[in-house]
A and B are shown apart, each in its own frame.
Chain A
């Protein structure tokens, strides 16, 4: 029965968080659309985890490490076999690279970076933040399959309960000649948590005054188990790598907790973080625009408050 197919990514049989989130909302949609939830992977080892999140079948294509061209061919072949009404991707770098390419091959529509999804009157209805979060568009995707990429952290990852391992269905496909070759992968700051995966982000702005003071941010991030974010002003000043930049020209994040210290809250910064679930702002200027989006605003000196907070967190964790 045509249902929902989710493109998944995993390592060592464990599904990535974005894939688990996409499977969870996929399950809700499959129930509404009256079909099965099924998944796609390049490794059969993901079958157990996929089953845990409600996938009945796992279409497995031996496409190897990620490449746009081989994965497009593999996923298109799986779509042909599964014939889903809806095709979902978690909003990872690879998911967002692949979804539009597959959509063009299938002549199908995509709603990207969505934070709500519903199945209404035989159509996929999605909400997506636009204009840097200054507005929300509700879009309807018609045609088959209707494709969407999910915004990280927007959909909770919930296990189905009692799910057996997904039944593995092998998919054969013709990869053609994949022209793009991976030469190398650089991990600039090994050991640091990446923004995309973090539940908690601690971000610093120009209020830090100089590069070495990012230690105030790093210390708290480390104690709390979060990732380090930054405003563009600090990246442009060379205080920290661009990988950490949050905002319109950096990363769009929506962690559970976002702590901004010494960040004024320019519209382009808000564009990257205003959909965070809980926002804490520390700024000495009571008029700073960041307070307009903060759930908890603290008017004060970050050089006093951050070390105190780091100590409190360490104490709380020690218990």
Chain B
């Protein structure tokens, strides 16, 4: 069974975000980048599907600047078997531009399944997965917490409000990973050594037959990025007298929030 996994390289979730001088982007200086957490679930699942089916490739794809190679190296060390780097400043493209690049890249690789994270941590769009599915003309199952693949068909649990749907679809299909799908493995020393021997394929947007003007067309353009106003940190009271504290909370909920 062959899978493609789209992984994005994002600022570590612990990072302090600083705004770049242009007022529209994150200042990348000094930021540590990681594989986006949901993409780790996506990658792990693809590796498990491969292991269960007894073979095939797990190809990881990223669209990003030079630094994004680190994400591919990390994925190879964990068990991906091939890697494709589409070079370009993905942060200058909107989600549909990114999806077009990924869909074109996916078409160059044999696959039965396409995995993405349910959302890229940081930009928090949760858009690229269904867009890729539409561009490829594949069925999609979004926000998946459990997956079984057999006989050209997959069964997936999809998380919805307060419940879970169990859906079935023939492959090829697009699956976006939610936390709970699996526990991602760490890279082993052996994996890290083996990964070093794998060459990362690189392509440009033009190599994929796409026009920069369509990919970087900014149907959605960021005009400003701002830090939230410092919260003044509200009122703090001593709760040593539990009954008095409870009354104060109730009063706050009634008077300020107009609830109850």
B212-253 vs A, Cβ < 8 Å mask (1 yes, 0 no):
000000111111111110010111111110110111111011
A196 at interface by CB-CB < 8 Å: yes
Contact with A along B12-43 (1 / 0, CB 8 A): 01111101000000100000000001100000
Q: Which chain A residue shows the least CB distance to B10?
A: A131
**Min C-beta distance of B174 to chain A, whole Å:** 10
Q: Does A74 contact B (CB under 8 A)?
A: no
A206 in the interface (beta carbon within 8 A): no
Of chain B, the residue at the smallest CB distance from A223 is: B260
* B236 x A131 contact (CB < 8 A): no
With A183-B166, A308-B245 given, is the CB distance from A298 to B127 under 8 Å? Answer: no
CB closest chain-A residue, reference B230? A292
- Do A110 and B127 contact each other (CB < 8 Å), given the known contacts A142-B221, A309-B249? yes
Query: How many Å lie between the Cα of A291 and that of B238 in the bound state?
Result: 13
- Main secondary structure on A side of the interface with B: mixed
Tell me the nearest residue of chain A to B250, going by C-beta.
A312
A296-B226 in contact (CB<8A)? no
Nearest opposing residue in chain A for B99, CB measure: A104
Residue of B nearest to A308 (CB): B246
B123 near A93 (CB under 8 angstroms)? no
Size of interface on B: residues with Cβ below 8 Å to A: 87
Selecting from B57-65, B135-143, B197-205, the interface stretch reads B135-143
> A183-B168, A257-B253, A299-B237 known; A249 and B37 CB under 8 Å?
yes
Contact A96 B166 (CB under 8 A): no
Q: Which residue of A lies closest to B14 (CB)?
A: A267
Instruction: With both chains docked as a complex, state the minimum distance between the C-beta of A25 and any C-beta of chain B, in angstroms.
Output: 18
Stretch at the interface among A79-87, A156-164, A186-194, A207-215: A186-194
Give the distance to chain B from A75, nearest Cβ to Cβ, in Å: 12
Contact A131 B161 (CB under 8 A): no
When distances are taken between beta carbons in the complex, the residues of chain B under 8 Å from A112 are 124-127
Check B169 for interface membership: any CB of A closer than 8 A.
yes
* CB pair B130 A100 closer than 8 Å: yes
Q: Secondary structure at chain B's binding surface: helix, strand, loop or mixed?
A: mixed
Residues in B neighbouring A233, C-beta threshold 8 A: none
Could you say which of B37, B140, B222, B253 has the most chain A C-beta atoms within 10 Å of its C-beta? Answer: B253
Q: B248 is contacted by which of A245, A286, A298 (Cβ under 8 Å)?
A: A298
Q: List, in ascending order, chain B residues with CB within 8 A of A179's CB.
A: 139, 169-170, 173
Which of B13, B143, B157, B242 touches A132 (beta carbons < 8 Å)? B13
Q: Is B252 within 8 A of A94, CB to CB?
A: no
Segment touching B, from A27-35, A36-44, A48-56, A276-284: A276-284
Q: How many interface residues does A have (CB within 8 Å)?
A: 97
B167 CB contact (under 8 Å) in A182, A189, A298: A182
On whether the beta carbons of A308 and B242 are closer than 8 Å, the reply is yes
Q: Which residue of B lies closest to A198 (CB)?
A: B162
Question: Are A294 and B234 within 8 A (Cβ)?
Answer: yes
Q: Return A262 CB to nearest CB of chain B, in Å.
A: 12
| Residues of B with C-beta under 8 A to A101 | 130-131, 133-134, 140
Of all chain B residues, the one with the shortest Cβ separation from A184 is: B166
A135 within 8 A of B: yes
* B96 and A296 within 8 A (CB): no
- Complex interface: chain B residues within 8 A of A250 (CB): 179
Contact in complex: B124, A129 (CB < 8 Å) = yes
Contact of B121 with A by CB under 8 A: yes
State the Cβ distance, A224 to closest chain B Cβ, in Å: 7
Residues in A whose Cβ lies below 8 Å from that of B234: 279, 291, 294-297
| Distance A293 CA – B229 CA, assembled complex (angstroms) | 11
* B160 lies within 8 A of chain A by Cβ: yes
In the assembled complex, B122 has its CB within 8 A of some CB on chain A: yes
Quick check: B247 and A72 within 8 Å, CB to CB? no
A181/B236 contact (C-beta < 8 A), A94-B160, A131-B26, A308-B243 known: no
CB interface residues, A 105-125, toward B, < 8 Å: 105, 107-113, 125
Could you list which residues of chain A lie within 8 angstroms of chain B, going by C-beta atoms?
A: 68-69, 72, 92-94, 96-101, 103-105, 107-113, 125, 128-143, 179-189, 192-197, 199-200, 224, 242-243, 245, 248-250, 256-257, 259, 267-268, 277-280, 282, 286, 291-301, 304-305, 307-309, 311-313, 316-317
5 A-B contacts (beta carbon < 8 Å)? A141-B220, A184-B165, A186-B164, A256-B257, A309-B249
**5 nearest CB pairs, A to B:** A300-B239, A109-B219, A194-B162, A308-B246, A104-B134
Knowing that A93-B161, A138-B222, A291-B234 are A-B contacts, what are 15 other residue pairs whose CB atoms are under 8 Å apart, sorted by A's residue number?
Answer: A68-B140, A68-B142, A94-B160, A112-B125, A133-B228, A135-B19, A186-B157, A187-B163, A245-B179, A280-B252, A280-B253, A282-B245, A305-B245, A305-B249, A316-B260
